[in-house]
Amino acid sequence: MIRLFHVYKSFGSKNPALIDISLTVPKGEFVFVTGPSGAGKTTLLKIIFCAEKPTSGHALVDGRNLTRIKDGELSSLRRRIGVVFQDFKLLPRRTVFENVALSLEVMGVPPSRIRKKVHQTLRYLGLADKEGYYPPQLSGGEQQRIAIARAIVNNPLILLADEPTGNLDYDLTMEIMALLKEIHTRGTTVVVATHSQELLKGTRRRIIALHKGRMV
């Protein structure tokens, strides 16, 4: 599903953010990417969802070479990747429903189908009663669940989560992690980037550790 070959990424003259990264994440796997701040976790995720291009090397996602991707292909690829961030990235002036519907609107899904899918997803995440609320009216945990709803409403092949629990307390962290695991069981490939050792304690999942841009 995700394959990286000798990927390097540098921003200007600063120390490179990624150095010689080669990895494979098969379809349906759940992996953690870990490492201290500045290790290159976010850059790695950005390369996978094509917000950044590798300086050298190749990245393949769902069979597409990201170094040679065109704008039209890029948007269709992104519709197959759901992304969740530490700061949620929700639109504060849109309701919960509208935030989640965004993923389907960009695909040109008919409104009746959008309504159905959004209701379904919000119900699945226990947010059915929050539809008409605006994100700032909700708690951090709820906002992150809405971000997850937006990421999975169009049944993506891959779910990327960048420090999804970074702003949440322990209980909410466990809740969100349980949710990600459940999404994984439905067949979605999940990649979670985190610096939290607590999250990794006792896990039997594969852990990709980064340090100063290198895999260790």
Partner 1 sequence: MKIIFFRYFVRQAMRNMVENRLVHLIGLGTMVIAFLMFDAFILIFVNLNSWTQEQGRSLTMSIYFKGEPERAVIENIKKELLQYPVSITDFISKDDALKSLRKQLGEKAGLLDGLGENPLPASLEIILSRDVSGDSLPYELKTRLERIHGIDEVQYSQEWVEKFQAIMGAVKIIGLVFGGLLFLAALFIITNTVKLTIYSRKDEIEILKLVGATNRFVKIPFLIEGSIQGFLGGSVALIVLFLVYVAIITKVDLSIGFASLDIIFLSPQFILLLLLMSSIIGFIGSTVSLGRFFRI
Which CB sits closer to partner 1, 41 or 215?
Answer: 41
Cα–Cα distance, 179 to 55 (Å, whole number): 34
- Tell which one of 108, 136, 202, 204 touches partner 1 (CB under 8 A): 108
| Alpha helices in the chain, H assignment, sequence order | 41-48, 71-78, 96-105, 111-124, 140-152, 170-185, 197-200
Binding mask 74-93 for partner 1 (x = CB under 8 A): -xxxxx---x-----xxx-x
Closest contact distance (angstroms) between CB of 168 and partner 1 is 20
Instruction: Evaluate whether 46 touches 85 at the Cβ level (below 8 Å).
Output: no
Instruction: Evaluate whether 25 touches 2 at the Cβ level (below 8 Å).
Output: yes
Under rule CB under 8 A, residue 107 binds partner 1: yes
Cα–Cα distance, 214 to 206 (Å, whole number): 17
Under rule CB under 8 A, residue 103 binds partner 1: yes
- Least Cα distance to 104 among 125, 126, 119 occurs for 119
- Tell which one of 69, 109, 172, 200 touches partner 1 (CB under 8 A): 109
Q: Segment 147-166, which members bind partner 1 (CB under 8 A)?
A: 150
Q: How many residues bind partner 1 (CB under 8 A)?
A: 24
Residues forming contacts to partner 1 in the complex (CB under 8 A) are 49, 51, 71-72, 75-79, 83, 89-91, 93, 102-103, 105-111, 150
